Amino acid sequence: MSDTKSELTPFFAPRSVAIVGASTTFAKWGAIIFHNILLGGFTGGIYPVNRNQPDIFGLPAYKNLSDIPGPVDLVMIIVPTEKVIEVLNEAGDKGTKAIILITAGYSETGDNGRRLEEETIRVARQRGMRVLGPNCMGIVSMPANLTAWMPSYIPGPGRVSIVSQSGNMGYSIAKSIVKRGLGVARVVSSGNEADLTSVDFINYFRDDPDTDMILSYIEGVEDGSGLLASLRRVSRKKPVIVIKAGSTGAGARASASHTGAMVGSDAVFSAALQSSGVIRAHDIEEMTDCAAALSSQPIPRGNRVGVITLGGGWGVMAADALARQGLDVIPLKSETIDRLNAILPPYWSRSNPVDLVAGLKDGDFKKPLRTLLESDYIDSLMLLGIGYGEMRGRYILDSPYSGNYDMQQIGRLFIRADETTAEAIIGLMDVYKKPIIPVVDQAVMEGESRFKEILREKDILLFASPLRGAVALSALVRYGQYVNRTATS
């Protein structure tokens, strides 16, 4: 295990990278990947290798790896299959230990390809080299500013690492994570996994000081029990969120023709995943919401949720969504109701969800929140109907009538209300160390507002619907249960 770890370091933090098959012809991956490396700002040595051109994007090109002065830690290969073994031997002569084999046309194309793949890996192993790929999209390592991959996209930096058996899914996940307000540490497209596998990278990320959370798209692995053992071990230290694809008959057939992965019984695998502490997501949105909760919220002690809403319908939607996720929308104890009676108007809902639509006696939004957070039988809070203030305020201030009556004053009050709400959430999370899940609508989610900005400065992220908030909170709860169980066992 520790061997593999040191073997992976040159993939993520190479002093220099050579790109064999680098090109200036933008219809070719050799140009697209090389260009991405340049745009990413990699500060180590960058050596294009191309037999026919003296320079590539202004950098001197080399005819062979052996012509490069000094060591080459990482070699990317983007040449046709029939030339790959020759390049591997050159890399071996050069002392390189890490190979990214972008080239396709191996086991994914049938038996001949499979034989060629086996032969290729044999050569690499003989020379003491580890191989990522073949048939992969490459690698991203933001701490090294290394963006050696196919997508036309440089992710924002952060602390989430991704390993994906589909390059496109890895790319889509990275993009979604960044859009959500998180950032990327590493992305690995593992391709055919002829040598290095998802399991190797998940293990590596466990001890990677730049990685706080691991996301993985998995179609199948040869060593299912090895994967599960790794996941159990890694999950104790960092959250792992997995999309296990090919989990229906149709998906499994599609997967077989994609990566040739063996899927096995999904029900069995699914149960095993659950007991391994892994958070399973069914699509990228769900994965991203779970990642947002795990990165921005404390782990709750249990599954009992208090709900506070500024509109009854949203509360009903939240109660349904939370219950469907197995969370307990716990009935309020009489002591809590008594305390709320003192701050809410006579006919408030007297139940969980607490509907504030009737208003607050003294207008202090913090009081009902604090009352629930102080209750030891409530582990987390969901808030709904918040974050509309700026929109409502601007609607009034932008009105053609806004010069009249109290409209300026009320418009500004609405905007200020959002800031108060955001500050209340931050202050209360700090005191009570319990999750507070802020649910807003899509417009607030996608737009810019002071509300969002204030929360974002404290790394508190929003959720776009009661359902998505409930799914994310449920991931937090289940991950907490796993960590507590394994800590005491």
CA dist., res. 195 & res. 184, Å (int): 24
Q: What is the DSSP string of 141-155?
A: EGGGTEEEESSS--P
Does the footprint of a copy of itself cover residue 179 (CB under 8 A)?
A: yes
Does the footprint of a copy of itself cover residue 251 (CB under 8 A)?
A: yes
Does the footprint of a copy of itself cover residue 114 (CB under 8 A)?
A: no
Q: Are the CB atoms for 465 and 330 separated by under 8 Å?
A: no
Q: Are the CB atoms for 191 and 137 separated by under 8 Å?
A: yes
Give residue for tokens 């699509």.
283
Does the footprint of a copy of itself cover residue 351 (CB under 8 A)?
A: yes
Q: Are the CB atoms for 175 and 155 separated by under 8 Å?
A: yes
- Please report which residue ranges of 180-296 form alpha helices under DSSP H: 198-206, 224-235, 249-258, 266-275, 284-296
Rounded to a whole number of angstroms, the minimum distance from the CB of residue 475 to a copy of itself is 17
Q: Are the CB atoms for 215 and 161 separated by under 8 Å?
A: yes
Q: Which of residues 119-148 bind a copy of itself (CB under 8 A)?
A: none
Residue choice 319, 386, 417, 436 for contact with a copy of itself (CB under 8 A): 319
Considering beta carbons, is residue 96 or 255 the nearer one to a copy of itself? 255
Give residue for tokens 């790929």.
133
Considering beta carbons, is residue 91 or 330 the nearer one to a copy of itself? 330
φ and ψ of 381, to 5 deg = -130, 140
Q: Are the CB atoms for 169 and 135 separated by under 8 Å?
A: no
Does the footprint of a copy of itself cover residue 363 (CB under 8 A)?
A: no
Residue choice 253, 333, 361, 433 for contact with a copy of itself (CB under 8 A): 253
- The binding track of 445-474 with respect to a copy of itself, each residue x by CB under 8 A or -, is -x-----------------xxxx-------
Considering beta carbons, is residue 212 or 355 the nearer one to a copy of itself? 355
Q: Are the CB atoms for 418 and 389 separated by under 8 Å?
A: yes
Rounded to a whole number of angstroms, the minimum distance from the CB of residue 218 to a copy of itself is 10
Among 76-84, 87-95, 245-253, 425-433, which window interacts with a copy of itself (CB under 8 A)?
245-253
Considering beta carbons, is residue 123 or 407 the nearer one to a copy of itself? 407
Q: Which of residues 71-110 bind a copy of itself (CB under 8 A)?
A: 104-105, 108-110
Does the footprint of a copy of itself cover residue 268 (CB under 8 A)?
A: no
Considering beta carbons, is residue 221 or 391 the nearer one to a copy of itself? 391
Structure tokens at 457: 């400065």
Q: Which of residues 32-71 bind a copy of itself (CB under 8 A)?
A: 35, 38-39, 57
Among 4-12, 78-86, 124-132, 343-351, which window interacts with a copy of itself (CB under 8 A)?
343-351
Structure tokens at 52: 């026919």
Does the footprint of a copy of itself cover residue 113 (CB under 8 A)?
A: yes
Considering beta carbons, is residue 76 or 330 the nearer one to a copy of itself? 330
Residue choice 89, 312, 367, 374 for contact with a copy of itself (CB under 8 A): 312
Q: Are the CB atoms for 101 and 78 separated by under 8 Å?
A: no
Rounded to a whole number of angstroms, the minimum distance from the CB of residue 410 to a copy of itself is 4
Residue choice 126, 274, 275, 399 for contact with a copy of itself (CB under 8 A): 399
Residue choice 236, 392, 416, 458 for contact with a copy of itself (CB under 8 A): 392
Among 92-100, 229-237, 334-342, 436-444, which window interacts with a copy of itself (CB under 8 A)?
436-444
Chain-centroid distance of CA 77 in Å reads 28
Give residue 322's identity as a one-letter amino acid code.
Answer: L
Site size with a copy of itself, rule: CB under 8 A: 99
Which SS3 state, helix, strand or coil, does residue 241 take?
strand
Q: 105-112 — which CB contacts under 8 Å span 24+ positions?
A: 105/80, 105/81, 105/134, 105/135, 106/81, 106/134, 106/135, 106/192, 106/194, 107/135, 107/192, 107/194, 107/260, 108/135, 108/192, 108/258, 108/259, 108/260
Does the footprint of a copy of itself cover residue 190 (CB under 8 A)?
A: no
